[in-house]
Structure 1
Amino acid sequence: MFFFLHSHGGSPLRGRCRPFSGDIVVDTSLAIVGAGPYGLAVAAQARRLGMDPIVLGEPMGFWREHMPQGMLLRSGPDWHLDAAGVHTFEAYLAQRGIDPVDVDPIPVDLFVDYATWFQEVAGLQVRREFVTALRRTDDAFDVELEGGDRLSAAAVVAAPGISHFTNTPHRAVAGLRPDRVTHTCFLTEVDRARDARTLIIGGRQSAFEWAALLADAGVEAVHVVYRHDTPEFTAADWRFVDPMIHQTLAVPGWFRRLPAERRDAIARQFWSVGRLTLEPWLTPRMPDGIVHRHPRTEVMSCVEQPNGEIRVELSTGEVLLVDHVVLATGYRADIDAVPYLRELSGLESVDGFPVLDEGMQTSVPGLFLTGFAATRDFGPFFGFVRGCPAAAEIIGSELARVLPSPPVLV
């Protein structure tokens, strides 16, 4: 049984079957690497446009494995995955008979369940296999999977999770053993013994959400240390994003063509709403006797003592004794940190971000990158679920233009 890719003719992405050394050979016009929100959104749109993508990865794996129990989302019920606006989160709630008012704020488990429902109603089959390497040949990609299996794809859409981009630059913790310091990306549950007295470095949403989760669990003390003023705890209004999404879809390359001053202003607006304004439902969960805030303060050193305590010296001169250090220091783009892209030659980047064209295609023909990796060229809203439908529409339109016709079984 063979699959032949019938081309529209003249496409630089024209696929062709070739032998591989792996155990299984699968040829496809489109492989999607990553089964998180962006990967699922693009896959659904590709299917709607007549393609039959192979989706690789663990469905919502980052959300299941890296987000703690009890976490609440900052998004509203209007954020969803469907470029067609049919299989939305609100449609899911209606089918389940759930009033949006009753799930405000939205529990992370509920959104993961929505994504599972979305995958089912969109008819998406996900292969729970991880990609170890991508290599570009003359007319296709060799996609190497764990275990040695391989497949060939005319085009690849990659949606690398933010776990690849954790920002851990804090020099003050450099001398601590790895088990004594954890980035919030990899902290998923409270250990009452380990976290009895916790230092959190950082003062944005993830820092204070973990402070609330630790307080909920009944730990002894949480010290949140940050260099800026204490953020305002008030409901955020994300409606300002909607016109930007509209412009992104209406005008190809809209964000990148803006004057630098306007792009900077948009970044500041996102910083103000997303970083300087935190959710008000955090406040009652952070009693003053448990959660201690240290604004306009830096951590100067963290040294493990002979008795196992960590001695923390602050820029104010105050000294803390803690059991665990948490880095709520966010994420920084570094496309070279994505393992499966390391053997791919010709992938251009600037400041750690891939260089993308107006269709989210990289400098490697046929390779598209989306999600957080696209924020430099398309705007900060692509670092949020809100950008999923727009990314799916942009990439889907470009794929429909350049890809061969769907494989015909002979």
Structure 2
Amino acid sequence: MPDTRTDLLVIGAGPYAYAAAAYARDRGVDTHVVGIPMSFWRDRMPQDMYLRSGPDWYLDANREDTFTAFFEERGLDPAEHDPIPISVFLDHTDWFAARKGIVADQRLVADLTRPNGTFVAAMADGTSIEADKVVAAPGVGFFAQLPAWHDRIPEAHRSHTVDRVTFEDLSGARVAVIGGRQSAYEWAALLCDHGASRVDVVHRHPTPAFEKVSWKFVDAHVDQTLAHRGWWRGLTAEERAAIAQQFWEVGRLTLEHWLVPRLRPDVVTSHPETAVTAVAGDGPVTLTLSDGSALEVDHVVFASGYKPDVARVPYLGGVLDRIGVTDGFPDLSEGFETTLPGLYTVGFLATRDFGPFYGFTKGCPSAAKIVVDEMLR
């Protein structure tokens, strides 16, 4: 017999999980949340980083306990928290969970199966939870992407941004950052803040612009997703490509203007439109670039992003053979349901079927509404 029985099990305790659990509870669904609250944000992001979004990105599908409401209740002036420190966002998620009565069960799921029409989550402590339906909300930490040559650098001299969240040990060090998006340049700024002697940022595309941008264009796409089931997948390939290009230009090729004062020109050198072609040494390491230059560095930070691969979510191993997968993404219905009835997934793994904005917190409230309403259809 299972130790716990629930109608809906939400695996994860990050923004997408909180949003789904809160809306399910608001709709009267018996819901159990498992996971360490906001663990990715607390433990795998630097404590002194900032959000690219503002208070208009919130979690509540009912639009009541919003980020703006949190600012108002706490007497915080948005102008004094622009950009928003990650600590303020975490305080907001704690406040949201308390307002919605969400108390995460911090046992971890070791394996998920569906033996007799219902799901059984075997927990790491030997207990189990039975549920009629499951929402899996795995964070991007499972999906770190690395270039093929990464293992030619000794393990002690390399890290991915998902693991490199403290910088004191790199004070005085020469560091190469591989990648050219927001995380690459923000990690370069953090390395400057913590006393790195030299930071070389290497990426294949041109040097990004550093400007104040608006993410308001995403609002209309999310509204369309709510208004029309399967909106994204109903677009032509050309329409999806145009939206993806706009998202790329605003979110990838334009970086936050507030980074500029922290990117010390005597420390940071950009190497646009270049790639690493050779690696030598076991510490320090010499990187040869495609323009013929060479960098001797003490450490390499891979800001190389994330690649979806549902097989890398360990607790889904017991049901993976029943989940349709294309290019690493689970095949999802218009309501976020996988090909295994009753199993839903939200967040990064849903971006192929719902659009790139569903890898960001902007998508949390609409995803919550769609997935829970789908369960209750």
TM-score range, shorter chain: over 0.9
What corresponds to 1:352 in structure 2? 328
Q: CA deviation at 1:218?
A: 1.6
1:190 to 164, 167, 170: 167
- Aligned pairs (5 A) from 1:99-110: 99-110=77-88
1:322 to 292, 297, 304: 297
Structure-2 separation of matches of 1:259 and 1:137: 39
CA contact (8 A) 1:194 1:324 kept: no
Q: Compute the TM-score of the two structures, normalised by the length of structure 2.
A: 0.98
> Which letter does structure 2 place at the counterpart of 1:156?
V
Structure-2 separation of matches of 1:383 and 1:245: 12
Structure-2 separation of matches of 1:340 and 1:234: 41
Alignment partner of 1:37 is 2:15? yes
Alignment partner of 1:397 is 2:365? no
Higher gyration radius (CA): 1
What corresponds to 1:59 in structure 2? 37
What corresponds to 1:229 in structure 2? 206
Q: Secondary structure at the match of 2:277?
A: strand
Query: What is the identity percentage for the equivalent residue pairs of Structure 1 and Structure 2?
Result: 47
Q: Secondary structure at the match of 1:186?
A: coil
> Can you give the 5+ residue segments of structure 2 that lack an aligned partner in the other structure?
none
> Can you give the 5+ residue segments of structure 1 that lack an aligned partner in the other structure?
1-18, 402-410
Q: CA deviation at 1:175?
A: 1.4
Structure-1 separation of matches of 2:25 and 2:170: 49
CA contact (8 A) 1:33 1:160 kept: yes
CA contact (8 A) 2:171 2:196 kept: no
What corresponds to 2:232 in structure 1? 255
How many residues matched?
376
- Aligned pairs (5 A) from 1:295-314: 295-305=272-282, 308-314=283-289
- 1:155-211, Cα deviation, whole Å (9 max, x unpaired): 00000010111111242x321222211110111100344771100000010000000
- 1:54-86, Cα deviation, whole Å (9 max, x unpaired): 100011110001100210110011001000011
Structure-2 separation of matches of 1:323 and 1:75: 33
CA contact (8 A) 1:192 1:219 kept: no
CA contact (8 A) 1:135 1:343 kept: yes
1:211 to 185, 188, 191: 188
Structure-1 separation of matches of 2:180 and 2:270: 9
CA contact (8 A) 1:194 1:323 kept: no
2:89 to 101, 105, 111: 111
Structure-2 separation of matches of 1:27 and 1:54: 9
Q: Compute the TM-score of the two structures, normalised by the length of structure 1.
A: 0.90
The 3 A distance-change label for structure 1 pair 193 and 105 is closer
- Aligned pairs (5 A) from 1:263-274: 263-274=240-251
- 1:231-277, Cα deviation, whole Å (9 max, x unpaired): 00001210000111111000000101111111111111111111000
Q: CA deviation at 1:89?
A: 0.6
Structure-1 separation of matches of 2:172 and 2:252: 25
Task: Point out which structure has higher relative CO (alpha carbons under 8 A, 6+ apart).
Answer: 1
Q: Structure 1 stretches (4+) deviating beyond 6 angstroms?
A: none
> Which letter does structure 2 place at the counterpart of 1:299?
V
RMSD after superposition: 1.1
Q: Secondary structure at the match of 2:125?
A: coil
CA contact (8 A) 2:233 2:353 kept: yes
